[in-house]
Structure 1
Amino acid sequence: MVNPTINDVARIANTSKSTVSRFLNGYTVKKETEEALKLAIQSLNYHPNVNARRLVKNHTQSIGIVVDDIANNFYSGIYRGIENVANLNGYQCTYYSRTSNYQGEFGFMDLAQERQVDGLILISFLKRSNELIKRIEELMTPVVLIGDTNSNDTIFSVDVDNELGISEVVRYLHRLGHEKIGYITGPDEFSATHWRRKGYEGALEDLGIKQNPSWIIASDWSESGGHKAMKELLDMNEITAVIASNDEMAIGALLCANELGYRVPSDISVVGFDDIPVAKWVYPPLTSVKQPFVEMGEKAAIGLIEKLNGEEIGTQSNRVLIKPNLVVRQSCRGL
């Protein structure tokens, strides 16, 4: 079967080859022409010759997506959001995975310097080093970050508003009558740990609730870590609610409470963060904060493509924080 050509697209759309070429290369055409071209491309199942376009434009029409662990389930929504935008704009996505360390992202600076990709989206929720941020600033190739920026405000970046997410959980529990609220925090090497704890402490202060440092237990994101931390909190016999800074620790906390004879939520309320799929299937179904992963990917891809097109990014700040959503289930009760 012969592959359709640009001439076939022009014939079906009743326009010229040059107009088709302009449209495929990102230039604006009349609205009715654009619609006719999209229909023609879809009906013919036409795909541009990427190698030919690369030679003409000195572009790869490819975006490099660099992740610390490509198998991480948290990233699947981000991938989907990036690809939604990239495909609409004629870009292919190429994925690169490295173990969770700073050198992993350093290694992919070469992709940009050697022009193997037109731009990079770096995804990591680990804290990024000053040295890495400086290297990114020096690159000629556009780069967008998802996750930590080390407080840099010159590189376009996208993240969930972790501080707001936990703050809203505290306020929700307060509306239910809780003031003795324990908190299970995550590992220090993750930027979310800092911002989520800040949300917890800031909300308590805003609400005029006295803070007790012994009600904050450090853990490691795991179910076993949440189980251990919950036992410490319950041994104090003071708190009425617990916020775990991720769902796996919250599930460990639920298991611990059940094993020790506490009923959730009758005796103690529990909230998580992330809204992983299993959160709604545990008993009782877990109240959690849902992260907007697809929207994060879309915002990052839009920002990168605007950079590639030489446009001003359509936000007032280079740091875009997307509001998460509190998903209320049956793991909390009013006092």
Structure 2
Amino acid sequence: MGPTIHDVARMANTSKSTVSRYLNGQKVKKATQEALEKAIRELNFHRNANARRLVMDKTNTIGVVVDNISNIFYSGIIRGIEQVANRKGYSCIFYSWTSNFEREISFLNLLYEGQLDGMILVSFQKREKDDLQELLDSDCPVALVGDHGEMDGLFSVDVDNSAGVADIVRYLHGLGHRRIAYITGPDHAAANKYRLKGYRQTMAELGLEAKPEWVARSDWSNQGGYLAMKRLLETGGFTAVVASNDETAIGALRAVQEHGILVPKQLSLVGFDDITLSEWVYPSLTTVRQPFLEIGELAAEGLFRRIEAKETETPEPASHLLKPRLIVRDSCGAV
């Protein structure tokens, strides 16, 4: 059995309560602090996390559940979460629910069992209404990144996808484009609905016609964008294309170039997300950048407000929609 608080107290010639206060971050006299640090070092003492958890009724750990740990977009969000958690003196445990064949909502059991103090659920997929209702009924400290089903009472952080596409359409309109086509994404992606909404609403606000034949479906892959663009080119008649993510836009760019059409001289093309490759294709891609770091920070700050309010007053639930930023490069031209 390793050294205990009693052993530290005896070597430092002080009481167990003083050792406990010091270990929990409370101030002690300078001489006592030096004696305690010397005793801890010589005894190679490590506090018992499980015992502390029982005494303090907290784990100082939060869970971060993502739908796919390999998703490149999550790195910025995770970095933002970690920065806030570190400032709060908390550790993060990461879970990937698709790789474990689990449902996202099943991780709520970790909160019920007291293994975590709070949880952030990160997913760009549509969430089931029943799962969101269970989160709402649980009254556990939970923050959502992504879809919250437009349900009141849940704390969530997301990008204003509709506003991002609206900025793109207005930018193209400012360049003189009036015939603008659009490539959608997969139905399981929550953002797809709002990006398409931004396209249709803004086209209507500007008095432009969003012809049904100018809207092509894709799965948000390079191949999907390539095939969608080939279908659009069979119809023709447009001067610009809004692709609802960058991978789709890059695939579309290849289809356009194979067709002998010059970008941006003969056709303008815009993406969404600002992935690294979008700056390296030719011509470099005009796109929309998402504030992933800020998303993670806001989600973590909201979660900790809920953790700290468990024994006091529950904070007002809120949904934060962060504005993405238009990044102008070389794939658009005036008409």
TM-score relative to the length of structure 1: 0.84
Distance 1:249 1:328 in 2: 18
Q: Structure 1's 228 and 114: CA in aligned 2 closer, same or farther, altered over 3 A? A: same
Correspondence for 1:287:
286
Q: CA deviation at 1:233?
A: 1.4
Q: CA deviation at 1:188?
A: 0.9
Q: CA deviation at 1:107?
A: 2.0
Correspondence for 1:223:
222
Q: CA deviation at 1:140?
A: 3.9
Which amino acid is the alignment partner of residue 132 of structure 2? Answer: I
Which amino acid is the alignment partner of residue 211 of structure 2? Answer: N
Secondary structure of the 2:103 match is: helix
Correspondence for 1:320:
320
> 2:112 aligned with 1:113, yes or no?
yes
Q: CA deviation at 1:301?
A: 0.1
Contact 1:245 1:273 in 2 (8 A): yes
Distance 2:175 2:313 in 1: 45
Q: Structure 1's 248 and 101: CA in aligned 2 closer, same or farther, altered over 3 A? A: farther
| CA deviation profile, 1:83-138 (whole Å, cap 9, x unmatched) | 00001001100001111899521221211111111111001111111110111112
Runs of 4+ deviating beyond 3 Å = 16-24, 47-53, 100-103, 311-314
Q: Structure 1's 214 and 141: CA in aligned 2 closer, same or farther, altered over 3 A? A: same
Contact 1:68 1:104 in 2 (8 A): no
Contact 2:154 2:317 in 1 (8 A): no
> 2:324 aligned with 1:331, yes or no?
no
| CA deviation profile, 1:65-97 (whole Å, cap 9, x unmatched) | 111111111100010000000010011000011
| CA deviation profile, 1:126-165 (whole Å, cap 9, x unmatched) | 1111110111112242111100011112010000110000
| CA deviation profile, 1:24-50 (whole Å, cap 9, x unmatched) | 7xxxx9xxxxxxxxxx9xxx9xx9764
Q: CA deviation at 1:237?
A: 2.3
Distance 1:180 1:98 in 2: 42
Contact 2:181 2:210 in 1 (8 A): no
Of the structure 1 ranges 170-179 and 108-117, higher mean CA displacement relative to structure 2 is found in 108-117
Aligned pairs for 1:289-308 within 5 A: 289-308=288-307
Q: CA deviation at 1:236?
A: 1.8
Of the structure 1 ranges 279-288 and 208-217, higher mean CA displacement relative to structure 2 is found in 208-217
Distance 1:141 1:208 in 2: 47
Aligned residues: 305
Q: CA RMSD in A?
A: 2.7
Correspondence for 1:97:
96
Which amino acid is the alignment partner of residue 69 of structure 1? Answer: N
Of the structure 1 ranges 210-219 and 153-162, higher mean CA displacement relative to structure 2 is found in 210-219
Distance 1:99 1:61 in 2: 26
Q: Structure 1's 63 and 174: CA in aligned 2 closer, same or farther, altered over 3 A? A: same
Correspondence for 1:63:
62
Of the structure 1 ranges 206-215 and 172-181, higher mean CA displacement relative to structure 2 is found in 206-215
Question: Whose radius of gyration is greater, 1 or 2?
Answer: 2
Q: CA deviation at 1:17?
A: 7.0
Contact 1:68 1:101 in 2 (8 A): no
Distance 2:119 2:239 in 1: 46
Correspondence for 1:13:
none
TM-score relative to the length of structure 2: 0.84
Contact 1:102 1:128 in 2 (8 A): no
Correspondence for 2:81:
82
| CA deviation profile, 1:193-222 (whole Å, cap 9, x unmatched) | 100000001111111112211111111001
Q: Structure 1's 214 and 313: CA in aligned 2 closer, same or farther, altered over 3 A? A: farther
Correspondence for 1:153:
152
| CA deviation profile, 1:286-319 (whole Å, cap 9, x unmatched) | 01100111100000000000111117788x7611
Which amino acid is the alignment partner of residue 249 of structure 1? Answer: T
Aligned pairs for 1:1-335 within 5 A: 23=25, 50-99=49-98, 104-310=103-309, 318-335=318-335
Which amino acid is the alignment partner of residue 324 of structure 1? Answer: P
Q: CA deviation at 1:51?
A: 3.8
Contact 2:156 2:320 in 1 (8 A): yes
Gaps of 5+ in 1: 8-15, 30-39
Contact 1:102 1:132 in 2 (8 A): no
Q: Structure 1's 312 and 70: CA in aligned 2 closer, same or farther, altered over 3 A? A: farther
Secondary structure of the 1:158 match is: strand
